[in-house]
Amino acid sequence: MIKFDKDNLLFNLITKNTGYIFCIYKGKFPVHIHYGRQVSDITDVELTFPHMRRAFSPDDNFSDKTFSTDTLPMEYPFYGSCDFRSPALHAQYIDGSRVTVCDYEGYEIEKGKPDIKGLPHTYQDKDAECETLKIFLKDNLKGLKITLCYSVFEEKDIITRNVIIENQSDDPIRLNRTLSMTMDFDNMDYDFVHLFGSWANERHIQRTPLINAAITIDSKRGTSSHQHNPFFALVGKNTTEDMGDAYGFGLVYSGNFIAGAEVDQFGTTRAFMGINPFNSGWMLEKGESFYTPEVVMTYSHKGIGQMSRNFHNIIRDNLIRGKYKKAERPVLINNWEATYFNFDEEKILNIAKKAKDADIDLMVLDDGWFGKRDDDTTSLGDWFVDENKLPKGLKSLGEKVNSLGMKFGLWFEPEMVSAQSELYKAHPDWCIHIKGRHRSEARQQLVLDLSRQDVREYIIKVVCDILSSAPISYVKWDMNRHLSEVGSATLEPERQVELNHRFVLGLYEVLEAITSRFPDVLFEGCSGGGGRFDMGMLYYHPQIWTSDDSDAIERLYIQQGTSLIYPASSMGAHVSAVPNHQVGRVTPIDTRGNVAMAGQFGYELDLNNLPQEEFDAVKLQVKLYKKIRHIVQWGDLYRISSPYETNHAVWQYTSQDKTEIALFITTILGKPSARFENARLKDLEPDKIYIETLSGKEYTGAMLMNIGVYFRDNVDFNSQLMVFRVK
């Protein structure tokens, strides 16, 4: 719900549990007042924030000398006037000046939620679910119009923000910095929580107090990256999983980003998020508009756990689209770690036949099926079947897999080209490069220039041709290098700086075209594992391969961190062989299965090589997962114990109707003596009886919440899965 107080020019964006309030101060400035628990109507705006001018804070040349924008909590600050903190907008005009001063011009409230041109975004899933507020600002001297967009998902405690920048002058305007949001807090008493990592080591949790400086996370790699995820939270210093204030911010974007929190000399904090201005910019011609990516914001006074559940709900219900938004996802087996490039039709069918014996739903053929792809040095871009490996083609293989009662899936890496390929020989200028410079390769490959229409059309055609040629029900869409020597053969010199963003826009256009044409195909994203795990990609791919590291113990940390913002329905998680191919660790098949079942479950090995005892365990895992996958995929997650803080990870998934629970308990290292730990469940009905279905034992909700269930903590890598149902 959006309320407007016309006497005070005050806007109150109200969700079920929160309020977001700002006003138009002095009739000119959008000034932030409050984001947090709901507040009743404000009658005296002057009392809600400190605005007295301080030494060395200019007074903006207005008749009232008691305030300065340098001390105001600005809703969307511009560079060049009296606010010396990091701006949201930095524009450059034809006369060389770089000062923007925008005044309030009006507002508009509308039902529903408009699309964001060319970009993924949240959407209204049912009538009257959302309202949108637009605030209109304009620099009358320079003809720059700004529209601040706020959409309110009342029942989900979610507010989204994005900005539209329009050139209403006769001259071009260069945009050097165009963030999607800033938000000012009146103190610095928060910890900064973010997700950092590297390849095979993604999205580890780091929590650090704010300091009198800026804490910034970003990507300059062309994608959202393994190194930092486009998410952060500001949480109270005493905030826990279940108690205290937590503010979460997530960017619906898959390219270079910047985010962080800056503390100024007065101890106030400015949170910010948007496209990274590093090596970036946009030339806005007369009459053109620029759309920033969307930021999804939520506030919880019930700790980090409720913040996460708010994000999970909006992503599942209002970001992910298509057939698999609500459909139970298939259990899959992927041949990559089983065969790498060394396979033929017979070997793939043998894996599929064994998988069918375990009631696995989907056989996925990974890298190596096209061109002359016997290793990673060749053939990316040559999307035609390698008849040496598959002489009867994909259609024959897919039909044979289907005849077993399984679906068939395929791996692609469409954004890349190998220097050793037919495509590169024909079009060496199609890759991202700078004329005269060395073309650096990673994994012996280059990146196609998706800013070019001819390149986009080629990718759409060849991928659609393959998908039309065989019974393909699943696509793994991979990207195995970042962008270097960022330049385009077709962009004008003054627009080369736009390439990073144009690449992302081109990717979204390609994905929209292909996924729209094949609505029954399940697309899974991947970028060296989790190198592009973001809300932008989830708009097109309802799930993403969480990490190339499939070791069960390392996955405890990765999946715990990922779950701060992303739901289990988005996390691809597989059982792989031991010793693990990434870290060499040997863990029990039950542990590997339980950790993987806490996400989108599958296997990445040759089941024919397992001893019979382990294969029998696989059959039980598949059977059990199919009974609980609706709980994991669509249920509420409660993180009971963190591997970052304890010797184990305990995750509780509760079905939406609150009648079923899947409880995952995994120990990292055993402790001496036969000690026991207990896991206390959360948010149950105290008087109801809960039956643990595997053992038949009965518990009251009060017992499970206050006493808990005991588990052994004296064995390395031990794991158990318990399933409860209301009696």
Catalytic residues: 478, 548
Return the bridge partners of 3, or none. 12
Of 632, 613, 587, 589, which Cα lies nearest the Cα of 331? 632
What's the rounded Cα separation, in Å, for the pair 308 and 236?
15
For residue 41, what are the contacts with CB-CB under 8 A and spacing of at least 6? Answer: 3, 5, 12
Residue type, 140: N
For residue 156, what are the contacts with CB-CB under 8 A and spacing of at least 6? Answer: 15, 16, 310, 313, 314, 317, 318
Q: How far is CA 713 from the centre of its chain?
A: 33
Q: CB-based burial of residue 611 (10 Å sphere; 0-12 exposed, 13-18 middle, 19+ buried)?
A: exposed
Judge if the upstream peptide bond of residue 579 is cis by omega within 30 degrees of 0.
Answer: yes
Phi, psi angles (nearest 5°) of residue 350 = -65, -40
Q: How far apart are the first and last CA of the chain?
A: 39
Cα 223 to Cα 204, 261, 392, 400, 683, distances in angstroms: 18, 21, 37, 37, 38
Q: Is residue 311 a contact partner of residue 318, using CB atoms and an 8 Å limit?
A: no
Cα 637 to Cα 133, 357, 559, 599, 664, distances in angstroms: 31, 32, 12, 11, 11
Per DSSP, the three-state class of 96 is coil
Cα 4 to Cα 11, 19, 106, 184, 185, distances in angstroms: 5, 13, 12, 21, 22
The H helix count followed by the E strand count for the chain is 12, 38
Where are the strands (E) in 200-359, listed by range?
Answer: 204-209, 214-218, 228-236, 246-252, 257-263, 269-275, 282-284, 289-291, 294-300, 332-334
> The tokens 């109200």 sit on which residue?
14
Give the burial string for 231-265 (b: 16+ CB within 10 Å, else e). bbbbbbeebebbbbbbbbbbbbbbbbbbbbbbbbe
Give the burial string for 137-166 (b: 16+ CB within 10 Å, else e). bbbeebbbbbbbbbbbbbebbbbbbbbbbb
Of 564, 586, 588, 560, which Cα lies nearest the Cα of 573? 560
For residue 127, what are the contacts with CB-CB under 8 A and spacing of at least 6? Answer: none
Q: Is residue 517 a contact partner of residue 472, using CB atoms and an 8 Å limit?
A: no
What's the rounded Cα separation, in Å, for the pair 631 and 567?
12
What's the rounded Cα separation, in Å, for the pair 347 and 334?
12
Q: Packing angle between helix 453-469 and helix 393-403, nearest 10 degrees?
A: 50
Instruction: Specify the DSSP element, H or E, that contains 11.
Output: strand 10-14
Residue 131 is encoded by which pair of tokens? 């309202």
Q: Is residue 389 a contact partner of residue 414, using CB atoms and an 8 Å limit?
A: no
